[in-house]
Structure 1
């Protein structure tokens, strides 16, 4: 459970009550039928990905404690989460970790330079009681072809690869924020980035494994290579998603039957996909996106934020609130990590 002692420092009692009411609604929604499954001490992993809009660039006003409380309450419901669009300094992640407590930690990239990269970082947040960092953390740069003198298409934001262990399973995650470009379902650069990314990751899958080598000279323990993040995929049938599949990645069935991950739930920007097959990691059938605007920064609450919005005018409330939380909904999947029975069978 996050630490909410900071609520005592909010002297405006009306604001404090608003935050408390919002947290209570949010907690009830998270624990409800359309929320997120309860975390287990062992046996399952709740894996998520979330693009947190301009986190925290100060565009249309820096986030206040209210927004952080809501963001942290959501993050705390997962075991391991990839975060995209972290901006500038490390304060946002440091403050989130402070509110989550000492059981949590994060990994983060440097800032992506250049206009296309938007000065962004990518990060992983994880609960050390459930997830162990396995030592591998690197940003991916696409290789130059042997017969091609020109530089290959580089991703506007370097994918961030990191390895973890949870239960019996070893995971290598690669989180991405693919170039958006034009507002059409197949932007040429976006498709090129996804295509080259899929090919490169697939061709070098063995090199990204950080699973232990049990016996010298023998293959290492099977790993699970998972792509996740903001692919800016418009629809499930688009060429952008097909490029991932053609490279050998699979979308878990549970994630193929959920709404889109944008606020309107009609775009499938965010995805989680695994390479070829999973080892000692089994989807439980539970997955989804979580719509936090049903509980906080609701349209019915617009009048309560009139003073705050006046400090940075020019946006409708519907748009402004996406800079408080996000214009993306967190996407999650529950995975089983207990492979004890299968292991015992191998000893017969």
Structure 2
């Protein structure tokens, strides 16, 4: 079976994107609003690693965004530069250096990148990453040493069992088993350091511009759900702490854009728990009138769709998130999520559901009406060539 769509299949897909892309959540360009998004483009590296049809699809997607945070950018920047160049001279690019690596070792380092339209979103001076104080890491290890000792003892046993199984499989001519990973009881540091860059959306007719720090993150996937949530809580903790220090921040607003790898096996309870925690942070940690407010719109049901939005290829998780840390009242707080999409140029949030678009273009029916076999066959043709994540976005009115 082909690992990607044929040129004829891609042609059908591209035609449907151009004709009806907005019906599947692809944002429209509008004069009085700005589209900001996040997209984990799987292993975005060398041009040769994706088909021509996939590159054209990525261009059709990216041209709808005024600012787009991209995760899984590889050390080879050829693909990101190609996208920037294909979008034309109005687009700029920001990329971090590699993160998630160690000198002398070759795991799978990644960069984090931004594409943005110079004529709509201006780049300002800040660029950095997010790290935690080494002393706190050491203190956490010391204060939780009993828990870490227990975790490492178990890991030692798991490694021993893995070595035995690996030897047995090698003797039988079979593939080696997956190497176990330790289950860390507490957060220590990010698997990949989030990257920051500052931007400004100019105001119309002399209005005050909307200025913000964009945080691009690709958090832990891993084998343990609690470790994923610990990383997310640590990042939110950093956002909250900076929100308390607004007078010292270069731009007082923050927009988190990233693959947070939050999994919701039970959407109602898992989402509600995180949503309640974030609301509690608003009341407990950000309670003064001068404090910021937090809003993660993708943790709430969309008022028009009437359901939680999914961002992965199998349409069963919302790993990707956009979070707003708000000092400027022109940015939408949690209470305004219920009005999302009511005004063409007003606040909205959505997902470009290209899985449904592919199913419609190639099978002439919705994805959930395909047989399990056909669903799996469809996903296999794009999850590596294009991505196994779909782009998410918010629309903001231009400052006025």
1:292 to 2:292 alignment: no
User: 1:322 maps to which residue?
Assistant: 383
**TM superposition shift of 1:56:** 2.8
1:64 aligns with 2:54: no
DSSP-derived class of the 2:383 partner = helix
Contact 2:27 2:352 in 1 (8 A): no
Partners of 1:194 and 1:240 within 8 A in 2: no
2:176 counterpart of 1:164: no
Highest Rg: 1 or 2? 2
The separation in 1 between residues aligned to 2:130 and 2:9, in whole angstroms, is 43
- In structure 2, the residue corresponding to 1:318 is in which secondary structure? helix
Contact 2:44 2:74 (8 Å CA) reproduced: yes
Contact 2:95/2:113 (8 A) holds in 1: yes
> Normalized per residue, which structure has more strand?
1
Q: 1:295 to 1:316 in 2, by over 3 A?
A: closer
Q: Is the 8 A contact 2:221 2:261 kept in 1?
A: yes
Answering whether residue 215 of structure 2 is matched by residue 174 of structure 1, we say: yes
What are structure 1's unaligned runs of at least 5 residues?
1-14, 212-222, 302-314, 340-348
Residue 279 of structure 1 deviates from its aligned partner by 3.5
Offset of residue 116 of structure 1: 11
Q: Secondary structure in 1 aligned to 2:382?
A: helix
Per the alignment, do residues 164 and 116 of structure 1 end up closer, same or farther by CA in structure 2, a change over 3 Å counting?
farther
Q: Comparing both structures, which one devotes a greater share of its residues to helix? A: 2
Give the distance between the partners of 1:289 and 1:321, measured in 2 at CA. 17
Matches of 1:120 and 1:193, distance apart in 2? 17
The alpha carbon displacement at 1:89 in A equals 0.7
Moved >6 Å (runs of 4+): none
1:116-265 equivalence runs, <5 A: 118-145=108-135, 149=139, 153-167=188-202, 168-182=209-223, 187-205=225-243, 206=246, 209-211=249-251, 223-235=252-264, 237-238=269-270, 246-248=280-282, 249-252=294-297, 256-257=301-302, 258-265=308-315
- Seen in structure 2, the aligned counterparts of structure 1 residues 131 and 53 have a Cα distance that, compared at 3 Å, is same
What is the TM-score of this pair, normalised by structure 1?
0.74
TM-score (norm 2): 0.65
